[in-house]
Amino acid sequence: MFLTAYLLLMSAVLLAWKINPTGSLGVFLYITAFHFGFGDTLTTIRMPALVRVADIIGRGGTVLTFPALFYQDDVYLLFSYLVPQHGAWELAQLLAKMAPLVAVAIMGSIVWNVVRLFSHKAIVSLSRAMELIAIAFAFSLLPPLLAFTIYFSFLHSARHLLYVAGSTDADKILPSIRFTLKRSVPVTLVTIGLALVAYLLLAEVGLDLVRLTQVIFVGIAGVTYPHVAVIALAQREKVLRYRASLLSI
């Protein structure tokens, strides 16, 4: 039942992209920014609501708006592979215009973490501030795809893997990760296989950069929506279990 729902949601996303590519890309960018920001913002640290919002906007927005500001031509070219040129230009311009707001948000979050470091001697605040600074510099100085690959592979995905493993006990972390990998690798291999089939079914099969980019990015969009739904449900389940534990005390 889970895989059926997962694949149906993927199919709906791909169909929507076929009908309205520009609108689908815009919604995908919004969902992506929110997911990155919300997923990488710690919920275990108490912080003012305004700071939490700034942290979410800063983390999620930097990934998309900084490349659009500092590498505008690269972002426009990438978007033009996915949607009509006028839509690609409008989306790239919109992201670039939002970059100053995101910069203010990420600076606010950095300042709060630095203040908390000295006022509460909280070492985690130092790591969070350094993480925010590293993200800002990476997406300002590195080519967009390189910066995103580093961020996604070594920060966002690693954090998600530990979260899904679901263990805070040092003795159980590695077994939990092994179990998670055992369950996820087959689905990952199937996804790669489906991507290869989709690419081969395209006209004029060959090493076509535009078509290869379309397969990769539209495929990423297809799996992102069910992924976001799974994470949201997992977080809700943990919150409900926590509340139940409090009621039982």
Q: What percent of the chain has pLDDT over 90?
A: 36
For 195, residues 6+ apart whose C-beta sits below 8 A from its C-beta are: 215, 216, 219
Residue reference for tokens 């795809």:
145
Please report, for the chain, the start and end positions of each structural domain, with discontinuous segments joined by +.
2-248
Query: Each residue of 34-56: pLDDT tens digit?
Result: 889 887 886 656 788 899 999 99
CA atoms within 13 A on the CB side of 124: 7
Residue 210: count other Cβ atoms within 10 Å of its Cβ: 11
> What gap in Å lies between CA 186 and CA 44, rounded to an integer?
32
pLDDT digits (tens, 9 = 90+) for 193-217: 887 777 777 655 555 677 778 878 8
Closest-CA residue to 55 (of 110, 125, 109): 109
